[in-house]
Amino acid sequence: MNGKTKPSEAAADPAAAWLVSCRGALAALGLFSGVLNLMALTGSLFMLQVYDRVLASRSLATLVALLVLVALLYAAQTVLDAVRARILVRLACLFDEAVSPSVHAAILRLPLLAGGRDHSLQPLAEMDRVRAFLAGPGPAALLDLPWIPLYLGLCFLFHPWIGMTALAGSLVLVALTLVAEVLSRARARAIATTGAKRARLAQAGHRNAEAVRAMGMAPRLGELWAEANLAHRESWRRTADIVGTLGAVSRAARIMLQSAVLAVGAWLAIREEVTGGAIIAAAILTARALAPVDQAITHWRSFASARLAWRRLKEALDKQQPQPQTAPLELPWPSTSLSVEGVAVSAPGILPPLLRDVRFELTAGQALGVIGPSGSGKSTLGRALVGLWPPLVGQIRLDGAPLERWSPALLGHHVGYLPQDVQLLDGTVSQNISRFAADAASDAILKAAKAAGVHDMILRLPEGYETRIGEDGAALSAGQRQRLALARALYGDPFLVVLDEPNANLDLEGEHALKRAILAIRRRGGIAVVIAHHPAALAGTNLVLTLVEGRMRAIERTEDVLQRMRRPQASARPVSLLKDREARRA
């Protein structure tokens, strides 16, 4: 991005916004680099003066004066170099400050865009990689590159042949830099690809450690990980070999070039075309001119890695929904209806819709059960109702307003959601129930726990509501996690509560508590949607929606559906008895 970036574009792109905000610091860096490169002439000029002035005049006072001046210049150069390094570190911190909120939002959003399949922390790793490069020696080497012509010009001032020799060596080193760029670009992509595959295998094994151990899958997973790690290691080795070889060639070429400049200078001194001091000064200037190229080749791998990380980071941030320039008008809290108007919904990244032409309307105080065979779209409907998967066509409205009219944070106050795969965060019981609200009231936490029938269970924990449950609720049983997640869904008395398989891990007591919670939602004027496989979860609902292959089959009263479910069970025993009697007669 350049300095002409529009404010609206900068606001949408945090990386571009960072560049725009740091234009002054970048200009200061250029100024510091210019002064530092001018001060780098100190050594050459000192040698020139010593050989041509001090030795010729044999003046000790001149030598002392030159030493004091050189010491002051070197001290100033040290200070400026340290200041430049600190500016780079501050720029890296500003980059982190500007990008990190968007990176965190991307980490939370990417799994939703990938249908729950992507749990990667790649944007965070890319941000760290760019920040580390900005704070390292790589940018300083790149900032010194534009000053190479200054040193070459001074070499031409000493003598055209010295300048031509230095220019030829510079072209050789620049060619090596271009070769490093071409060869390392594809290798950097290969390292990133193989590294991501290796990380995914490791994360999958970590998430499913119990199943892996119980079913003896560890050896095979170890083989797969070893194959991925070998591919990653080989990509890294080939890149390191290329960069290391080019770095060695570059260093050797630079040393050779210094010797060549000394030889040319000696030849010119023999012909009395330059002085002895000019020979030494030209050699030092040549070495200084080629040092940035040598450093650029040395740090090229980190530069290529940072450039790839920058591109990947921008791609991840570009996937986020654009933020509105002005905050939407805050709507009144919904209190009357939920309407689903002919919606079709598909999982992110999957084109065929999983739901088609689903339409119904619920009013305050109603509870809808959703049933159907596996793969009929029940969980898809639940995700659409809470705004996770937006409809392809149709609308989902609360009190007549589409869900997208609310920001996700504001919509969360009106919605309670218990996913099929219960997910809890590392923290205390009270923090998880209150959704980690900073100003959560104790009364609201207790009310939600009692509504879910989990208050007594929490009191039996070692530290009650202050018990830390560990990552993903590892300190709790499956049933306890589900009931705690139910309390979280009920926190704040949301108008719409969507429960996906809420009784999958519940005992009889938990099922009774679930029924009481659904009835309580109805009594206070809320709406509950219960996605169920087992009839027990339908207790407390008054309507049942049947889905088959992603389409509505019917909406009926709960009593009628439960009676129809009981009939096959009532007739199963007489049929089996008749078969037993016929078998005995035979």
**Rounded Cα–Cα distance for residues 198 and 204 (Å):** 10
Per-residue pLDDT of 371-428, as tens digits, reads 988 888 899 999 999 988 889 899 999 998 998 888 777 888 899 999 888 888 888 9
Provide the pLDDT for residue 11.
43
Provide the pLDDT for residue 96.
87
What number is the average pLDDT over the span 282-297?
Answer: 74
- Whether the predicted model's global pTM rises above the 0.75 cut: no
Nearest one of 156, 137, 149 to 37, comparing CA atoms: 149
Provide the pLDDT for residue 488.
92
What number is the average pLDDT over the span 322-345?
Answer: 78
For 160, 195, 207, 387, the CA distances from 119, given in Å and listed in that order, are 62, 15, 10, 20
- The three-point CA angle 267-272-276 to 5° equals 75
Q: What is the 3-state secondary structure (H, E, C) of 527-552?
A: EEEEECCCHHHHCCCCEEEEEECCEE
**Helices 148-158 + 276-298 axis angle, to 10:** 160
Instruction: Name the average pLDDT for the chain.
Output: 81
What number is the average pLDDT over the span 188-211?
Answer: 76
Which residue type, as a one-letter code, is found at position 294? D
Provide the pLDDT for residue 62.
86
Range name among 195-209, 398-412, 484-498 with the lowest pLDDT average: 195-209
Provide the pLDDT for residue 7.
40
Provide the pLDDT for residue 6.
44
pLDDT for residue 329 is more than 60? yes
pLDDT for residue 286 is more than 70? yes
Six token digits for residue 443: 């009364």
Tokens 């790149």 correspond to 142
Provide the pLDDT for residue 366.
94
Six token digits for residue 192: 């990133």
For 199, 310, 494, 546, the CA distances from 128, given in Å and listed in that order, are 16, 10, 38, 49
**Rounded Cα–Cα distance for residues 372 and 548 (Å):** 6
Per-residue pLDDT of 71-81, as tens digits, reads 998 898 888 88
Per-residue pLDDT of 244-262, as tens digits, reads 787 788 778 777 887 888 8
pLDDT for residue 212 is more than 60? yes
pLDDT for residue 118 is more than 70? no
Strand order of the β-sheet with 527-531 is 415-418, 496-500, 527-531, 367-371, 543-548, 551-557
**Rounded Cα–Cα distance for residues 147 and 166 (Å):** 14
Which residue type, as a one-letter code, is found at position 447? K
